[in-house]
Amino acid sequence: MSDPNNPDQGSPNSGANPVNASSGRKKAILAFSTACPSCGAQVQFRSSASVMAVCEYCQTTILREEHAVLDQGKMSAVLEDYSPLQIGSSGVLDGVGFSLIGRIQLQYPDGFWNEWYLQFDDGTNGWLSDASGLYVLTRHSGALESAPSFDLLTINYIVQYKGFGYRVTDHRTATCTGGQGELPFVVGQGWQSSVADLRFQARFMSLDYSDGEPPQVYEGRAVTLQGLKFQLLREDALIQASSGKVKGKITNLECPNCGSPIPYVMGMAEHLVCPACRAEVAMTGKKAEVLVKHKELVTLKSALSLGDKASIDNQAYVVIGLMQMEEVGDEESSLWTEYLLYSLEAGFLWLVDSGAADWHKVSVLNEIPEEKAGNVFLQGKRWDRTFAYQGRVLYAVGAFNWRVKIGDTNFIVDYKNGQDILTSEQNQHEINWSYATPISGFLVRQLFGKKQPARGEVQPSEEPEQNAVKWLSIALWLINLPIILFGSGSFFLTLMAQLCLIFLPVLLSANTSSSNGEPILSRNTSILVWGSMIVLFTTIYNISSRSSSSGWGSSSGSGYSSSYGGGWSSGGGHK
């Protein structure tokens, strides 16, 4: 790619008319417009770094040279993917405003994503990557002479840059399938981009080998639309007017293979698996195409079904896809089921059922933990490596935001902190990280209005929170009851402490999250910490109330933290 950050790069067309494109902003930036050589419509170049633009009326690619504008032929229109972003959307990064002025769509065998070209109020430029609701904003930072060749890079390869060890998390060659607005380099349909994405925690870097070696560096960080204070996003009415369909609406599509209806979420999950014939179907524009036909599979009996709805964390979710996984090479045939949920407001969420009493609620991370000595660290907490195994897709139906194929295999590693789990899933081209917290299977079925399983149909396991409260209660009475019976300890105070322990999970539920919504401590760790303080305070008070000290203090070290066990050891994996 050419350098899009130099505001003096390139010369404006001498025949263009200057237009003030930044009225009301701190710094005026001139935009230039010219007539499209094909249809005559006005085409604007908002950035002086832009060398090409796509006419929004006839899709002609216009190349700007020093003394003329050239017709470079037609450019495919972008696939209407129902992104909330659009040309003209604006936001703020580190106090500097910006606007989106162009985009390209890049496709690979299992999906596609958008790259939005943006211009800052100070005249510089950047890129906003938009992939399945995860966003990264980067700026051009020059070439990296010390970078290895593209073919030598592998997933988790470490590249040192500005004192940080960035890990390769995505490595692939993608093809441009459409463009819109203006761009800082010449691109046409079929143009290929060889890019490696690297991360260090929330930091992000792309090594772009599209123009050969050394690669160009695009450096930035993971962001959210809310954090960027976006304005002028597309509304449902505009989406409906441009496509006839509303983003996030659940609808049915007739399978092009067998004619059966396939429920899916418009614009958010364009890779489908027919529940009737198991054909893999891809949405391409307004058409559905069969990718692969599978032999008839036995219908999976699952706890949840496609189209089931529930309110989780005050968000309305619907089940749009499910798949059954197996652990490769596991003699005990470890199986688990993953459900993909979608919310119009909150996006994607996973629920994982490994057959135990506890399920897991899973979110994909837009950052990666730091690895040290076989364990990982994220947001100041240590996560211990527990399981490493291969997971393979046995069965899949419904809609997904990437192409799911029967037989897909990933290498999975689980890391635990209390009852919470970080999981990495890796294949040849990418590695993804997710964050899982336990959720009662009883509660999941209750939320979805499902019948509870008969006794013995799930693996018996005591609720972790109840387990912690039970052992804390035992410790409380074992230590304090002798003091009450043979000394002057307070039965009333001890009873109040017991009530506090019972209601401790409820009291902590609303007070254990940081400002970004992530838990400060796992729920069970919080219960153990606060419960131990309650037991300790009660014991000290009862001992101090005795007329004669008799060494009861040594009983307070009953080690109830070591009595606490539990944990998820079913070997489950999740997206």
C-alpha to C-alpha distance for 507 and 504, rounded to whole angstroms: 5
Q: What is the largest CA-CA distance in the chain?
A: 101
The number of residues in the chain equals 575
What is the predicted pLDDT for the residue at 277? 64
The per-residue pLDDT for range 49-73, each reduced to its tens digit, is: 444 556 666 666 555 454 444 444 4
Mean pLDDT of 343-355: 87
378/467: higher pLDDT: 378
CA 499 to centroid of chain Cα atoms:
39
The per-residue pLDDT for range 189-241, each reduced to its tens digit, is: 678 999 999 999 999 999 999 999 999 999 999 999 999 999 998 875 564 45
Q: For the chain, how many helices (H) and strands (E)?
A: 6, 32
To the nearest whole number, what is the mean pLDDT of the chain? Answer: 75
Distance (Å) of CA 68 to CA 46, 47, 52, 298: 17, 17, 12, 64
What is the predicted pLDDT for the residue at 240? 46
Domain extents in the chain: 32-223, 245-448
466/227: higher pLDDT: 227
Q: How many Cα atoms sit within 13 Å of 119 on the Cβ side?
A: 26
Determine how many CB atoms are found less than 10 A away from the CB of residue 468: 29
What is the predicted pLDDT for the residue at 524? 65
The per-residue pLDDT for range 515-538, each reduced to its tens digit, is: 444 444 556 677 888 889 999 998
C-alpha to C-alpha distance for 349 and 342, rounded to whole angstroms: 6
pTM above 0.75, yes or no: no
The per-residue pLDDT for range 100-116, each reduced to its tens digit, is: 999 988 888 877 889 99
pLDDT band at residue 546 using 50, 70 and 90 as cut-offs? low
Look at residue 371 and tell me whether its pLDDT is greater than 70.
yes
Kindly give, in sequence order, each residue whose CB lies less than 8 Å from that of residue 29, ignoring residues fewer than 6 positions away. Answer: 21, 22, 46, 47, 119, 121, 123
112/323: higher pLDDT: 323
Look at residue 271 and tell me whether its pLDDT is greater than 80.
no
Strands (E), 201-237: 203-208, 216-223
245: its two tokens? 């369909």
